[in-house]
Each structure stands twice: as C-alpha cells, then as structure tokens.
Copies of this chain bind each other. A is one copy, B any other.
Amino acid sequence: MALGKDYVAQECSIARALEVIGERWTLLVVRDAFYGIRRYSDFLGHLGLPRAVLATRLQALERAGVLEKRRYQDSPPRDEYVLTDSGIALWPILRSLSVWGTAHVAGTKRLRVFTHADCGTELGSYGECPACSTAVPPQDVEMLPGEGLDPEPSDPVSRALLRPRRLLQPLEADRV
C-alpha cells in the first residue's frame, strides 16, 4: 500500500496494522499459514489467486516480519514460508473475524470448528477455552470440519484440510 494512498495520516494502531495485513488476499494467506500451508504452490492451489499477487504478498509479509522464508532443501533449492511469532500473534484477529463472519454475514454456516486440543471444548469468541478459562495458543487449537463444508473438494490442499488437525502443523505431514 503506497504513499498518499496509504493510511499514513492516520495516527492509529489499527491503521498501522491494516498497512501490513489490510491488502486484498493478505489475511487469507495468513489464515492458510495457520492451517499449515507453507509452500508457494499450496497457497496458489488453495487460494486461487494470481501468481503475481501471491509473490507480492509473500514478500511483503516477509518484510513485515509476519512470515519467515526458509530453505527446506538445497537441491533443487526450495523455500517455505512459516509464521513468525509476530505472525502467530495475529491469531486473535483471525478468530474474531471468523466468529463475526459466521454470526453476521448472511448464509454463513459453521464451516470449521475450533476446539481446545487438551480438553475438546469448542473455543469462545476470543479464542479462549470456556472450560479451562485460559487463552488457547494456536498450537493447542484443533480444527475440525463443520457442516457447511464441501465434502469432496477438487484441490488436494482442501482435501487434506478436511481431516481434523492442529493449527500450524505443516501440511506435508498428512498430504493425501
């Protein structure tokens, strides 16, 4: 988001946050990173966005310190994009967006259910566990498919995401 056109005039931490994660597709890339997606081609296949936009977003998120690019093999050279601590701190934002979307956008069924892995209780509005009354870190969140989800999606990433899984757990582990 560039100059004059950016939110620079805004003395506001919300505006600053939106400078980083407010562009089109950006938060969906971050969401996918929470789902365990780490590779360019998996983001591409799952999000269905233009390659050029994905490359731009990944670079911007890396520069902002939300994602870290790391080499996972040398020959051929391949990199993966992993959430940093700063990126993991975005979880409450995604959680509150998801809660609001389910409750207030017409026709949104429960598509995914998030539970506290330790006790199986469904998370509250802020991502806390009502039973244990603690904030649940994303590592301890279990994601389960909800009723509204297509049971036979065409792309392999969506198919892998139909299985219950921990947030942040790399997708490679249980690829079909």
Q: Which residues of A contact B (CB under 8 A)?
A: 7, 9-20, 22, 24, 27-28, 31, 47-48, 64-65, 86, 89-90, 92-105, 108, 110-112, 125-128, 135, 148-150, 153, 158
Contacts and interface: CB of A to CB of B under 8 A. Distances in A.
Contacts of A128: 126
Contacts of A135: 125-126
Contact of A17 (B11, B65, B98): B98
A22 B30 CA distance: 14
Contacts of A153: 11
B28 A97 contact: no
Contacts of A14: 27-28, 31, 94, 97-98, 101
A65 B104 CA distance: 9
A86 B101 contact: no
B10 A28 contact: yes
23 contacts: A9-B48, A11-B148, A11-B158, A12-B101, A13-B98, A13-B99, A13-B101, A13-B102, A13-B105, A13-B108, A14-B31, A15-B28, A16-B102, A17-B97, A17-B105, A18-B97, A22-B22, A22-B27, A64-B105, A89-B104, A92-B126, A96-B96, A126-B126
Contacts of A20: 101, 105
A100 to B, nearest CB: 5
A28 B7 contact: yes
Interface-central residue, A24, A89, A93, A94, by most chain B CB under 10 Å: A93
Indicate the member of A86, A94, A96 with the most B CB atoms within 10 Å.
A96
Given A16-B105, A27-B22, A149 B11 contact: yes
